[in-house]
Amino acid sequence: MSTAILGAGLTGCTLARLLAEDGEEVVVLEAADTPGGLCRSFTADGFTFDTGGSHIIFSRDEEVLDWVRNVLGMNREERRRETKCLFKGLYVKYPFENGLQDLPPEDRFACLDGFVRASVEAELADARGDVAPPAHFLEWIRRTFGDGIADRYMVPYNEKIWKYPLERMSAHWVDGRVPRPPLSDVIRSACGLSTEGYLHQAVFSYPSCGGIEALIRAIASPVLDRVRCGFRVTGVRHRDGFFRVSDGCTEIQADRVISTIPLPCLVDALDDVPEEVADAAGALVSNAVACVFIGLKRAVPSYSWVYLPSPDLGFPNRISFPSNYAHAMAPEGCGSILAECTYRTGDPVDSLDDGELAQTVIEQLAAAGVLRSDDVVYVGVSRNPWAYVVYDLDYCRSIRIVREHVEARGIDLVGRFAEFEYLNMDGCIRHAFDYVRGRRACA
């Protein structure tokens, strides 16, 4: 049984390794020159950066976490998370609701008051039995965190990262992903007592050398000879009992196809697609991300990453400090910053060329006190057209139509953009695990 896997990102490489271990004949078709997808890295002037944004290794899924650690072997370092939210010039502990003690008194009161009111209302509604699901993401934020935290952090940050009206986003995806913090923790935080949120991120791993791409290379190492790069899929046909996958010049034949490439790209490669399916695929919404890489001639603060919710802080929604992830990420005595700027076609980030964007971001971070412009010794920019799935109000209908059509054609969808779901790295690996186990069960 031969299988063609479309895309050699994290999901595609994981699938190829697992299927090959089961004795299957696999070929992985990748449009880029190297495997990795959003998990590629590069080194320049002694600085190593991840081109798809800041990636770290953590998970509540112990099986996935153990597997990743075993794959990396000794090429791994561990760090304690030290993450902040930049608010009114203050570095507030993350998650924001666990850092209320860092806020000015008036903001601390507004956040605590709003959270208590939201919690009481939620309990009363539950007692009355009239808990209707939130109509949209904005309503979910206000119901969950109250107006104080919503107005100061959750709303501006989410408007910045999604670049989409929050009242036009579905709330179905967020329950479980962003947990409601315990009321006692928020009260303790407001009183100046230490609390911790997102404990599964409290300690994270990262490759000692090679950036996050080292993980991809370690996963793909047993099957690297089966990864065919420079193959951009333009056609997927089923003829005479076989799938035929083409890049416009060469055709690959396989018994099965697993797609990990963006779902709209797959639909574009299919023939005889009904208008309803094409329209639904075109209606799926996603964001791009521009990453600005900054090398500094001096060390950076000890932070892991910092969220920048206010539009007054400029384009980046998050900055990370890769030189704090592993010793080899920057030259001795130097530090590095990776600024992530999500964008949509036609917005200000999209309209700037890479040089203009880098200069603008450096000026914005300097104005915020994050860096000094005369300390910058390296600058680079990378753009990724597929970064975040946006769950608009039409998402559930659109994704159902497209998935049903693709699956009816015998093509399996696995991974973040093939399934068109907001999966973290551990989620991509888990979905690959579950898919392969399902194949074994049917064998």
Domain stop point among 197, 224, 255: 197
- Assigned domain for 43 exists: no
Quick check: 56 and 204 in contact, CB under 8 A? yes
pLDDT digits (tens, 9 = 90+) for 51-63: 999 999 999 999 9
Domain stop point among 131, 165, 197: 197
Strands 227-229, 25-30: parallel, antiparallel or unpaired by DSSP?
A: parallel
20 φ, ψ to 5°? -65, -35
pLDDT digits (tens, 9 = 90+) for 64-86: 999 999 999 999 999 999 999 99
Domain count, the chain: 2
Q: Which domain holds residue 187?
A: 96-197
- Assigned domain for 416 exists: yes
pLDDT digits (tens, 9 = 90+) for 119-156: 999 888 888 887 788 999 999 999 999 999 999 999 99
Task: Tell me the sheet residues that pair with 236.
Answer: 245, 270
pLDDT digits (tens, 9 = 90+) for 289-304: 999 999 999 999 999 9
Co-location of 119 and 179 in the same domain: yes
Beta strand spans in 168-325 (E):
203-206, 227-229, 235-239, 242-246, 251-254, 256-259, 285-296, 305-307, 318-320
Residue from 420, 52, 422, 418 nearest 261 by CA:
418
**Residue 346 backbone zone (phi > 0: left; psi -120 to 50: alpha; other: beta):** left
Co-location of 186 and 223 in the same domain: no
- Assigned domain for 59 exists: no
Task: Tell me the sheet residues that pair with 378.
Answer: 295
Residue with tokens 């075993």: 70
Element (H, E) at 108: helix 105-128
Residue from 284, 263, 303 nearest 406 by CA:
263
| DSSP letter (8 states) at residue 402 | H
- Assigned domain for 360 exists: no
| DSSP letter (8 states) at residue 179 | P
pLDDT digits (tens, 9 = 90+) for 362-407: 999 999 999 999 999 999 999 999 999 999 999 999 999 999 999 9
Co-location of 260 and 396 in the same domain: yes
pLDDT at residue 124 in the model: 86
For every residue of 61-102, DSSP letters joined together read: -HHHHHHHHHHHTTS-EEEE--EEEEETTEEEESSGGG-GGG
Task: Tell me the sheet residues that pair with 41.
Answer: 50
Element (H, E) at 300: none
Element (H, E) at 386: strand 376-390
**Residue 72 backbone zone (phi > 0: left; psi -120 to 50: alpha; other: beta):** alpha
pLDDT at residue 199 in the model: 66
Co-location of 179 and 268 in the same domain: no
Of residues 442 and 268, the one with the higher pLDDT is 268
pLDDT at residue 168 in the model: 98
Co-location of 270 and 415 in the same domain: yes
CA-derived radius of gyration, the chain: 23
Co-location of 122 and 271 in the same domain: no
- Assigned domain for 350 exists: no
**Alpha-carbon torsion (122, 125, 129, 131), positive or negative:** negative
pLDDT of 196 above 80: no
Query: What is d(CA 151, CA 157) in angstroms, rounded to the nearest whole number?
Result: 10
Helical spans, DSSP H, in 235-331: 263-269, 275-283
Co-location of 238 and 263 in the same domain: yes
- Assigned domain for 115 exists: yes
Residue with tokens 């880029």: 32
Residue with tokens 């200000």: 348
pTM for the model stands at: 0.95
Helix (H, G, I), strand (E, B) or coil at 6: strand
Tell me the HSE value of 86 on the side-chain side, using a 13 A CA sphere: 22
- Assigned domain for 135 exists: yes
pLDDT at residue 125 in the model: 83
pLDDT of 177 above 80: no
Quick check: 4 and 19 in contact, CB under 8 A? no
Average pLDDT over residues 336-355: 97
CATH of the domain at 275: 3.50.50.60
Task: Tell me the sheet residues that pair with 251.
Answer: 246
Element (H, E) at 373: none
Helix (H, G, I), strand (E, B) or coil at 178: coil
